[in-house]
Chains A and B, each alone.
Chain A
Amino acid sequence: MIVVPDVLITGFALGLVLLVVSLTTNLGRRARAGLSAAWVVVVLVLDVSGLEDSRIAAATPSPGSPYTERMDGFVTSDACQACHPNQHASWDESYHRKMTQLPSDESVLAPFGGELLSYQYKYIPHRRGDDFWVTTTDPTWAEPGEELPVSRRIALTTGSHHQQLYWFERPGTRAVGRFQFFYRVREERWVPFNAALLVGERNLPEPGIYWSTVCVRCHATHGKPGFELPDPGAAPMDTRVAEFGIACESCHGPGEEHVRANRSLFRRYRGYFSSEPDDTIVNPSRLDADRSLDVCGQCHAVQGLGSTARIRQWSRNGLPYRAGDDLSEARYIVDGRPGKSDNVFHDRVLRQDPHFIEDRFWPDGVVNVSGREYQGVRDSPCYASGEYTCLSCHQLHRATDDPRSTPEWANDQLASDRLGNDACVECHPALAEPAALEEHSHHAANSTGSSCYNCHMPNTAYGLLNATRSHFIENPDTATELATGRPNACNLCHLDQTLAWTADKLEAWYGTPVPVFEDPAHSTTAQGVLVALRGDAGQRALMAFHLGWEPARLASGADDWALPVLGELFLDPYDAVRAIAARALQQRPDARDMNFDYLETPPSRRALRNRLIEAWSGPEAGDPELRARVLIDGAGQTMAKEFAVLLDERDNGRAFRAE
């Protein structure tokens, strides 16, 4: 929409009033001239001040919260709307915009209705007028000498798609503390912080100062933490940002010069009739592949600042990276591949956190956690073409001819013509023909087995109680699974088949060498059962997801045999595994009306699981080999002994995903 500044309307209205006055009264020429001059002066003054204020407004800072400030050429997304209404509107509906928000009736998704949350301590989220508060007996929320319970006002929210987190004000500093409960959006419930992560730790973390020291780097635009080293929490912080959320200037660079230049009517219209890009702003789709990838990679990469000097500079001046720059000059991009850890950055990081690499990468360096797709894209063979970037598939502004609703587009921001194989056949046109596709995939052309994504970008990254697609484009290979533990794409659909079966198929179809299977279970037991029962928590989470994933359920007939496996996953010691298993159980036709609360006590969950198993009977007839693979006997019952053996072999080692 064209914005007509209120000040101009006011000015013209004043002028009309003066005109009527001068015409209806017996004013002399001098008086009329004076009135006219006065009107011109008033309008000019209002225009100059009003135009500036109406275009670029700073939020009113709240005393105990990070605040917004105009700085360093950032003018906020408000300045973009007048000329780019469509882009602004789709961004406004995106989860990028909502990554950090000030609390309001619109932004806060949790009820804050005075419900009591108990986990080690008591927490009561509630309202006071327009504000959102939490009252708690948690001593980590209290200042020295402050008596419990304490009440704190919510200052910020994080997230809005799958879950939302809240941050409370602290007296005397702008470093907000973290409320240790997530609000899960789909489930419409509060869950303790660790119950929304893949982590074995049971105790709630302390509120900390993470928004200012970690989150601000990616969840806001041009943030400046305002802490001092070596101890960021020792002194009050002055955390400020150009804009909350991931706004226009995160991807397009500071807009001040662009706004100023394009106030000129002539410049704008000259640009409409020219194919030359506007050099006062960055358009990531016009950058070369490296720089385009870097725009997304500034947040969607496993990375660090790399040095104390950089951290200090970031804290005071914000991150130096601007869209269009070489990201590697401002950040250290972590390489998780073996043998790549012998450098100063890794030494420092691994001294502080010995598990840094394994919490983010599979052993071969492929990212294992969602939201860090940069390395996968960069290391993919497709990237070598020089034309493959995030924007090959993702569309950060919904197209005007996109038939989907805005929420559908916002879900993953894939372009409407990138939902199927279209993204890939652009560079692999031979596979556009159904016959050629079938010959390549050995699956029906219109089946999920012929989806490029399912074979070459399987869901092997964990995040947000979910599995997401790995962005490292690779061919399925059972040898890789043996070496790294990362499930191969074939068995993530064919959960009922063994690893050896997959290896034989890959060898017959593509000449992929068959590895040596030293473990006989790889030749006798379905991979969906094997990994679910004896994998580590990360693997179990992925398998729980796929046991409820429709393409896999249909391909493997999991609804017939998988209940015992899901039942075990519902008793898993990791909250995240149980959460995903509960969702998979809910998908089953025989369990849709049941309530699988993954946070119920172990006896309750066990009782529910037992009821389910007692009522269930697996396939008695049909393929005896299938029953043997999925550990179901001739009577349609679970082969309890074999189950127990696999459970005994479970990898109960530490597992964590650094989301």
Chain B
Amino acid sequence: MVANSESPKTANPAPSDFTALVRLHLRFGWWALCGFVLLGIVLEGLHGLKLGFYLDLSNATRRHMWTLAHAHGTLLGLINIAYALTLRTRDLDPSNESESAMAGASVPLLASTLLLPLGFLLGGVIIYAGDPGLGIVLAPIGGFALLYATWRTARAL
């Protein structure tokens, strides 16, 4: 990418910022994938050991929440990787507003990757029969952050 000799009218990220973003999301995505796959293995272990706090019928809500945490975390890891690849495959021009808009999905995507599975995880720690614990409030926040991130990315493409 050739640097533009004129100063941009807006403070658009330089190409190196996009490279940094790509690297960030690749790393974040793969580590998230690793972490939530590990969570999945742990949950399988709880099944294998038939631990009551996870498998008893009265703990069905906990099991559901933690399964959702594993599934959403794994999925979000993949989305981060997909986002990074999307960034990399585009011939990004920092002076292009829509493409910088796509880069603006980074923060909400990172936030959702943390908040959505964390909400489910915390929501399963203390449960109230059919309802999750108060930690669940993080999940919709993360969900809307994800929605915003994907909308922003889709719009910029």
Chain B binds chain A: yes
Binds A, one of B6-14, B43-51, B127-135: B127-135
Chain A's nearest CB lies how many Å from the CB of B20?
A: 26
Chain A's nearest CB lies how many Å from the CB of B53?
A: 10
Chain A's nearest CB lies how many Å from the CB of B131?
A: 6
Q: How many residues of B contact A (CB 8 A)?
A: 15
Chain A's nearest CB lies how many Å from the CB of B85?
A: 17
A359 to B50, CA, bound (A): 51
Residue ID in chain A nearest B128 by CB atoms = A272
Chain A's nearest CB lies how many Å from the CB of B147?
A: 10
Q: Which residues of A contact B154 (CB under 8 A)?
A: 19, 23
Known A-B contacts A23-B154, A85-B60, A85-B61; A2 and B130 likewise in contact (beta carbons under 8 Å): yes
A372 to B130, CA, bound (A): 35
Query: Any chain A CB within 8 A of the CB of B96?
Result: no
Check A85 against B57 for contact (C-beta < 8 Å). yes
Of residues 1 through 58 on chain A, the ones whose CB sits less than 8 Å from some CB of chain B are: 1-2, 19, 23
Check B61 against A1 for contact (C-beta < 8 Å). yes
A83 to B127, CA, bound (A): 11
Query: Any chain B CB within 8 A of the CB of A269?
Result: yes
Check A1 against B60 for contact (C-beta < 8 Å). yes
Known A-B contacts A1-B64, A2-B64; A400 and B58 likewise in contact (beta carbons under 8 Å): yes
Check A86 against B64 for contact (C-beta < 8 Å). no
Check A84 against B130 for contact (C-beta < 8 Å). yes
Known A-B contacts A1-B60, A1-B64, A2-B64; A85 and B129 likewise in contact (beta carbons under 8 Å): yes
Check B157 against A83 for contact (C-beta < 8 Å). no
Check B157 against A86 for contact (C-beta < 8 Å). no
Check A272 against B131 for contact (C-beta < 8 Å). yes
Instruction: Pick the most buried of A82, A85, A89: most chain B CB atoms within 10 A of its CB.
Output: A85
Chain A's nearest CB lies how many Å from the CB of B97?
A: 16
Chain A's nearest CB lies how many Å from the CB of B103?
A: 18
Known A-B contacts A89-B57, A400-B58; A82 and B130 likewise in contact (beta carbons under 8 Å): yes
A19 to B134, CA, bound (A): 32
Query: Any chain B CB within 8 A of the CB of A268?
Result: yes
Check B61 against A2 for contact (C-beta < 8 Å). yes
Q: Mark B55-97, 1 if CB is under 8 A from A, else 0.
A: 0111011001000000000000000000000000000000000
Q: Which residues of A contact B61 (CB under 8 A)?
A: 1-2, 85
Chain A's nearest CB lies how many Å from the CB of B22?
A: 21
Taking A23-B157, A83-B129 as given, write out 13 further A-B residue pairs in contact, using a Cβ cutoff of 8 Å, ordered by the A residue number.
Answer: A1-B61, A2-B61, A2-B130, A2-B132, A23-B155, A83-B130, A85-B57, A85-B61, A85-B129, A86-B60, A268-B131, A269-B131, A272-B128
Interface of B toward A, CB cutoff 8 Å: 56-58, 60-61, 64, 128-132, 134, 154-155, 157
Top 4 A-B pairs ranked by shortest CB distance? A83-B130, A86-B58, A400-B58, A272-B128
Interface of A toward B, CB cutoff 8 Å: 1-2, 19, 23, 82-86, 89, 268-269, 272, 400
5 A-B pairs within 8 Å (CB atoms) are namely A19-B154, A82-B130, A86-B57, A268-B131, A272-B131
